[in-house]
Amino acid sequence: MSAVKANQPGSVVLPDITVFDTEDKGSLKEFAGVLLSVGGNVFYVSNYEEITKLILEKHGPDAKIVSPLPEFKEFCDERNEPVSSPHDLYNVDVALLKAHFGVAENGAVWLTENDMHHRALPFICQHLAVIINIQAIVPTMHHAYKLIDGTTYGFGTFIAGPSKTADIEQSLVIGAHGARSMTVFIMENR
Amino acid sequence: MRDKMAEQSTKDHSTLANEFNRDEDRVNWHDETLWWIRQKRDKTVNQVPGWERLREAASQIKNNVLSNLHNYLLQFEKNAIANGIEVHWAADAAEHNRIVHQLLNKAGEARMVKSKSMLTEECGLNEYLAEHGIEVIDSDLGERIVQLAKEPPSHIVLPCIHKKKEEIGEIFHQHLGTPAGVSDPQFLTETARQHLREIFLTRKVALTGVNFAIAETGEFVVCTNEGNADMGAHLADIHIASMGIEKLIPEKKHLAIFLRLLTRSATGQPITTYSSHFKTPETGKQLHVILVDNGRTVQLSREDFRNSLKCIRCGACMNTCPVYRRSGGHSYHTAVAGPIGSILAPNLDMKKYADLPFASTLCGSCSNVCPVKIDIHEQLYKWRQVLVKDGHASAGKKAGMHIMAKALSSPISYRLAGKSGRWVMQHAPFAITNKLNPWYKQRDMPNPPVWSFGEWYAKNRKKN
C-alpha cells in the first residue's frame, strides 16, 4: 500500500459530470423499442388480473409461478409448495417481480433484493416477468443512479432482456444460463 | 493442464501468428468476424449523443482514480468491511491463488464454479488449484468451451472467437455426450445450459470477477450477458470476487458513465443483460473480495505506461486491431491479448513479452475506439524504445536497424542503396520474390520505379 502511495501521480481532479443530468423525461416508446431489440417482450396492463391471465395463457395452467409480491400471494400459494432455500427454485417456470424503474436508453429495469425473495430468483427462473409503473421510465443511466442514490439494498441489478450468448461463432442464442424470456408489464395508472 | 499454454510460452508472436496464418480461410473468417463486431460498436456508438464527452469524462475519472488510488483503496476496504464483506489483499498472483485455496480448504470444499475473470487467467488460478486437487469449472459458455479444449481464452470478451462451431460440436460430443456431427449453436448452448445448471446447483463456492468497485459505498458490480456470475454466486454459500486494484471508481454515480461505455464499446449492445451490484452478503452466506496488485503498482510508477491501468477490459482495441484480427489471440501468449495486453504484459515480464509491443502497425485505431482514451499505440511505441534500450530486441532486428541507420545516415549510401535495390528488382526479381523474404509472404511485390524522385528532380530542374 505504501508503494501505491509512492507511485501514484500528482492529484487529478474529478470531472464535473452534471452535464449529463438533463431535464428530459424518459420515453416509454424508446424503452419498449430497445427492450424488444434486446429480445424482451412488453405488455401494457391496467390491473394484476390481466397479468396473471397473460402469464397463464403463455405458460399454461400448470406453470410454477413464484412471486414475492403480496398482490400475487394467494395466486402463487395455491399453485406451489413453499420455497425455503434458493435451491428449491430450480424448477420455477415464471418469476413475477416488481422493478423500481426502467431505463429508456438500454431497456434495463432496476431490481433490488427486497423485491426478490431470494437473490437467485430472477436468474434461475425459466421465464422472468417484471412489472413497472408507466411513470417510472428514466432517459439514461445518469438519471437511473440519481434515483438509486440514497436507497439501501444488499444486492441490486439492472436486467435488460433474456439471458443470452453469442459465444459460438457469434450466433445469438437466447437462454444461456438465466431466464429464457423477459416480459415487462407496464402498469398504466388506474 | 493447458497444452496450448505450454506450447505458447516458448514461441514469440510472429512464430505463433505464422502458425495461425497457415489456414488462410480461417484467418479471413476470424478477421471478418471481429471487424463485424467493430462495426456493431460503431453503429451503437453513433446513436449516443455526447459519446465523446462520455469518453472524456471516463478518462478523467480514471486519471483521478490513479492519482488517488491509495485513498480509494482504503475507503473501499473500510466501506466493504462495514457492509459485511471480508477483504483480502494479494501482492501477487501466488498470494491471490493461496488465498482462494485457503478459503476453499476452510470450507472443506474441493470444487468451485467460476465466472469470467481475466485476473484469474493472469494469475494461473485454475492450474494452481488443479495441482492442489481442486476442481474448477468455468461457467461462461465460451470459457467452458476453451476449458474443455484445454486452451486459454483467445479474447477477453469472446473467449472462443477462434473456434468454429464444428470444432465446438466435436468438443461437446467428446465431453458432454452430444451426438457426433451436431454443431447447431442453439442445440450446443442448450446442452451447456443443462450441464452447467447441475454445476450451479451443487457448488458451494463460486468465484467471479469484478467489473467495477465503488470506493464510496464498498460495493462492486459484475456484468454478464449469460447470467452465469449471478447463478454461481447466489446459489453458493461462499462468493469470492477477485479484482485488480485498478478496478476502483470513486462514486456510484460514475457507474453511469462506465456502464454506458462498456458494452457499447465491447459488442455494440446498449448494456449487458445483467449488471449486478453486490453490497452485502446474502443472509447466512459469505462474501469475500480479493484485491490483487500483481505488478499494477509497478505499472503505476511507469509514467509512460500507467495509463494502461485505466483499461475497463471491453476488448474494443482487439476487435479493431489489424494485427490481432489476423494473428489470433493465442499468438500473444499472455492472458490479455491484443494492443492493451501488449502494454500490460511487458510490465510483468519484459524479457518474455519483449515481442508484443512490436506486434502492431501503430495505426492508432485502438486508441481511437478506447472508451477511456488510453493512448495505446503511443505506449506501444514507447515500450519499443524501452525494450531495445534494455537489450530485449532480437539480434536480427538489431542488425537490420543497424544497416538501415547506416544507409539513411549519408546521402551517398542512401542513393547507392536505392539504385541497387531498383536494379535488383528489375534485373533479378527472383532475389526478392522468394520464400526467404518475409515481405513476399502473402503479398505481391510492387513494380520498381525506373528512377528515384531525387534523380527525376535533378533531371527536370535542369530543363527549366
Q: Does A147 touch chain B (CB under 8 A)?
A: no
Q: How many domains does chain A have?
A: 1
- H or E segment to which residue A110 belongs: strand A108-112
Question: Could B189 and A165 be called an inter-chain contact, meaning their C-beta atoms sit closer than 8 Å?
Answer: yes
Determine the average pLDDT of the residues in B75-96: 98
- H or E segment to which residue A96 belongs: strand A94-98
CA–CA distance, B3 with B7 (Å, rounded to integer): 6
- What type of residue is B295? G
Question: Does B436 or B333 have the greater pLDDT score?
Answer: B333
Task: Tell me the chain B residues in contact with residue A175 when contact means C-beta distances shorter than 8 Å.
Answer: 189-190, 193
| pLDDT band at residue B463 under the 50/70/90 scheme | low
Determine the average pLDDT of the residues in A113-137: 96
CA–CA distance, A140 with A153 (Å, rounded to integer): 21
Q: Is A103 helix (H, G, I), strand (E, B) or coil?
A: strand
Confidence at residue B6, expressed as pLDDT on a 0 to 100 scale: 55
HEC secondary structure over chain B: CCHHHHHHCCCCHHHHHHHHCCCHHHHHHHHHHHHHHHHHHHHHHCCCCCHHHHHHHHHHHHHHHHHCHHHHHHHHHHHHHHCCCEEEEECCHHHHHHHHHHHHHHHCCCEEEECCCHHHHHHCHHHHHHHCCCEEEECCHHHHHHHHCCCCCCCCCCCCCCCCHHHHHHHHHHHHCCCCCCCCHHHHHHHHHHHHHHHHHHCCEEEECCCEEECCCCEEEEEECCCHHHHHHHHCCEEEEEEEHHHEECCCCHHHHHHHHHHHHHCCCCCCCEEEEECCCCCCCEEEEEEECCCHHHHHHCCCCHHHHHCCCCCHHHHHCHHHHHHCHHHHCCCCCHHHHHHHHHHHCCCCCCCHHHCCCCCCHHHHHCCCCCCHHHHHHHHHHHHHHCCCCCHHHHHHHHHHHHHHHCHHHHHHHHHHHHHHHHHCHHHCCCCCCHHHCCCCCCCCCCCCHHHHHHHHHHHC
Q: Which of B37, B227, B270 sits opposite A123 (nearest CB)?
A: B227
CATH class of B3-297: alpha beta
Confidence at residue A84, expressed as pLDDT on a 0 to 100 scale: 83
Determine the average pLDDT of the residues in B224-233: 98
- Pairing assessment for the beta strands A108-112 and A127-133 based on DSSP bridges: unpaired
pLDDT higher than threshold 70 for residue B364: yes
Confidence at residue B3, expressed as pLDDT on a 0 to 100 scale: 57
Q: Using CA atoms of B60, B65, B71, B72 in order, give the dihedral in degrees to the nearest 10.
A: 110
Task: Count how many residues are written for chain A.
Answer: 190
pLDDT higher than threshold 80 for residue B10: no
**Is the residue at A95 inside a domain?**
yes
**Is the residue at A83 inside a domain?**
yes
Question: Does B406 or A87 have the greater pLDDT score?
Answer: A87
CA–CA distance, B279 with B79 (Å, rounded to integer): 10
Phi, psi of A94 (to 5 degrees): -130, 130
Determine the average pLDDT of the residues in B190-210: 98
Alpha carbon distances (Å) from B424 to A122, B420, B429: 71, 6, 6
- Pairing assessment for the beta strands A173-174 and A164-165 based on DSSP bridges: antiparallel
The pLDDT mean for chain B works out to 93
**Is the residue at A9 inside a domain?**
no
Beta partners for residue A184, in sequence order: A42, A130
Confidence at residue B95, expressed as pLDDT on a 0 to 100 scale: 98
Determine the average pLDDT of the residues in B31-47: 97
The pLDDT mean for chain A works out to 94
Confidence at residue A50, expressed as pLDDT on a 0 to 100 scale: 96
Residue of B nearest to A10 (CA): B67
pLDDT higher than threshold 60 for residue B464: no
Confidence at residue B66, expressed as pLDDT on a 0 to 100 scale: 97
Confidence at residue A179, expressed as pLDDT on a 0 to 100 scale: 98
Question: Does B309 or A26 have the greater pLDDT score?
Answer: B309
Sort A57 into a burial class: Cβ within 10 Å, 0-12 / 13-18 / 19+: exposed
Full domain range(s) for residue A109:
26-187
Size of interface A-B (CB pairs under 8 A): 230
Determine the average pLDDT of the residues in B432-453: 78
Confidence at residue B439, expressed as pLDDT on a 0 to 100 scale: 73
Q: What is the CATH number of the domain that holds A121?
A: 3.40.50.10420
pLDDT higher than threshold 90 for residue B289: yes
Determine the average pLDDT of the residues in B99-107: 98
Helix ranges (H only) for chain A are 2-7, 28-37, 48-59, 73-77, 121-124, 141-148
Question: Could A8 and B161 be called an inter-chain contact, meaning their C-beta atoms sit closer than 8 Å?
Answer: no
Confidence at residue B447, expressed as pLDDT on a 0 to 100 scale: 82
Question: Could A156 and B257 be called an inter-chain contact, meaning their C-beta atoms sit closer than 8 Å?
Answer: no
Confidence at residue B394, expressed as pLDDT on a 0 to 100 scale: 76
Query: Is B223 in contact with B211 (CB distance < 8 Å)?
Result: yes
Residue whose C-alpha cell is 403480496: A70
| pLDDT band at residue B4 under the 50/70/90 scheme | low
Confidence at residue B342, expressed as pLDDT on a 0 to 100 scale: 97
Query: Is A73 in contact with A122 (CB distance < 8 Å)?
Result: no
Confidence at residue B9, expressed as pLDDT on a 0 to 100 scale: 59
Which residues lie closer than 8 Å to B197 by C-beta, 6 or more apart? A90, A177, B231
Q: Which of B61, B193, B273 sits opposite A159 (nearest CB)?
A: B273
Domain range summary for chain B, segments of one domain joined by + = 3-297, 407-463
Residue whose C-alpha cell is 528489375: B426
Residue of A nearest to B185 (CA): A168
Question: Could B226 and A87 be called an inter-chain contact, meaning their C-beta atoms sit closer than 8 Å?
Answer: no
- End-to-end alpha-carbon separation of chain B, Å? 74
**Is the residue at A177 inside a domain?**
yes
Q: Does A126 touch chain B (CB under 8 A)?
A: no
pLDDT higher than threshold 70 for residue B2: no
Question: Could A176 and B69 be called an inter-chain contact, meaning their C-beta atoms sit closer than 8 Å?
Answer: no
Q: Using CA atoms of B269, B270, B272, B276 in order, give the dihedral in degrees to the nearest 10.
A: 170
Best probe of the A interface among B34, B189, B220, B252, by most A CBs < 10 A, is: B189
| Three cell numbers written together for A33 | 423499442
**Is the residue at A6 inside a domain?**
no
Residue of A nearest to B282 (CA): A154
Residue A61: name the closest of A27, A84, A93 by CA: A93
B386-404 pLDDT, tens per residue? 999 998 877 777 788 888 8
pLDDT higher than threshold 80 for residue B187: yes
- Buried (b) or exposed (e) across A79-115, using 16+ Cβ within 10 A? ebeebeebebbeebbbbbbbbbbbbbbbbbbbbbbeb
B362: left (phi over 0), alpha (psi -120 to 50) or beta: left
Question: Could A177 and B200 be called an inter-chain contact, meaning their C-beta atoms sit closer than 8 Å?
Answer: yes
Determine the average pLDDT of the residues in B60-69: 98
A19-67 pLDDT, tens per residue? 999 888 889 999 999 999 999 999 999 999 999 999 999 999 999 999 9
In this structure, of A13-22, A95-104, B82-91, B256-265, the range with the lowest mean pLDDT score is A13-22
Question: Could A120 and B66 be called an inter-chain contact, meaning their C-beta atoms sit closer than 8 Å?
Answer: no
